[in-house]
Structure 1
Amino acid sequence: MNNIRNNRSDYQKNSLPELDTSRIQFKNKTADLFDAVANKTAKTIANTHSRDVNKSTQLRKYYDEIIMWEQKIRQNPDNYSEYLPFIKMLNAKVAYANGRNLVDTNFVDLMRHCTGQIQEDDINSFYTFKLFFEAFMGFYKMHKPKQT
């Protein structure tokens, strides 16, 4: 069974368009981060060969969690550093979903890249992450509309 899953992961990695995260920079935001960069990222993530992977409802769960953390941070900004380990736990949740073939490795890489830029001493890095993910989700819905 593990060989089948590993073979699927190898196939998935080899057949996916390459995700370029180099322009997703939260510290030195460019004017097109929430526009062209988010759009290109969404298009790459949407371009999967399986209709059962990266469903918008699955990705929306992660966005909803990001929104939940934003609300907690806005209510208690002094607790930001306490929340941060739980925010970064999104990586584990996405990895689990990848193991169940609900998201692909491009989405795993995107989440890891984005959460890796959230800094403990810079609350604005989290807000930039949230805004980028919001823009990404908007474009994602355009590139991968609901399938019936």
Structure 2
Amino acid sequence: MGYNDYGNRNFGGNKMQSHEDKSFTPKSVKILKFYNSDNKVITELFDKTAQDVAESFLGKNKKGYAIGVTSSQLRKIFDEVKRFEQLLLVSPGQWEKQLPYIKMIKSKVAYSVARASKEKEKAGIYKNLEDFLSSSIDLIKKEEDYHVFVSLFEATYGFYYEKMIAAGLKD
């Protein structure tokens, strides 16, 4: 009769029960461009790309259970992005004044991600969120770019919500 790592008797003999790590963090999706060579919005941006980004926000913990960015965390960031869109629509001519504050969303996201990543097994999926948002915001040079980004984020949010429900995650 053997003993396990905790000093308890192992009645099954010397064989230790192994616990396979089933954790999984999907690959990060960074947005490299919004437009194709004809300066038109990339056709797949709001469909295939948005789905890929949404999938990168879901993973599995060590036991193989689904984990993901919380919908409330994603909603908080999305609301901030939409707030600027509304401000630009209501007050035309504000682009130059608002652009620095739009770029500041990256620091707010970094802060939120750092706080949320305290759960080590979720750190990778939150890093994917940060990579998506930071790479997208880096591409914003003019107001039209911002509106494309908002549409991409909106499509991603919609696909993520669908995937989150399918995975059995709730807030």
Q: 2:140 aligns with which of 118, 128, 133?
A: 118
- Secondary structure in structure 2 of the residue aligned to 1:125: helix
**Residue 27 of structure 1 contacts residue 125 of structure 1 at CA under 8 Å; is this kept in 2?**
no
Which structure has the greater CA radius of gyration? 2
Aligned residues: 132
Say which structure is richer in strand: 2
After superposing on structure 2, the runs of 4+ consecutive aligned residues of structure 1 that deviate more than 6 Å are none
RMSD: 2.3
Q: What letter is aligned with 1:25?
A: K
Say which structure is richer in helix: 1
TM-score, structure 2 normalization:
0.69
Gaps in structure 2 of 5+ consecutive residues: 1-22, 118-124
> CA 1:65–1:137 in structure 2 vs 1: closer, same or farther (change >3 Å)?
same
2:53 is the counterpart of 1:38: no
Gaps in structure 1 of 5+ consecutive residues: 1-13
**Residue 26 of structure 2 contacts residue 55 of structure 2 at CA under 8 Å; is this kept in 1?**
no
State the Cα deviation string for residues 49-95 of structure 1 (Å, max 9, x = none).
38775101110111111111011101222111111111111111111
| Identical positions, percent | 29
Q: 1:19 aligns with which of 16, 22, 28?
A: 28
Name the structure, 1 or 2, with higher relative contact order (CA <8 Å, separation 6+): 1
Which residues of 2 match residues 1-148 of structure 1 at below 5 A? Answer: 16-21=25-30, 25-28=33-36, 29-47=41-59, 49=61, 54-101=69-116, 104-119=126-141, 122-145=142-165, 146-147=169-170
TM-score, structure 1 normalization:
0.79
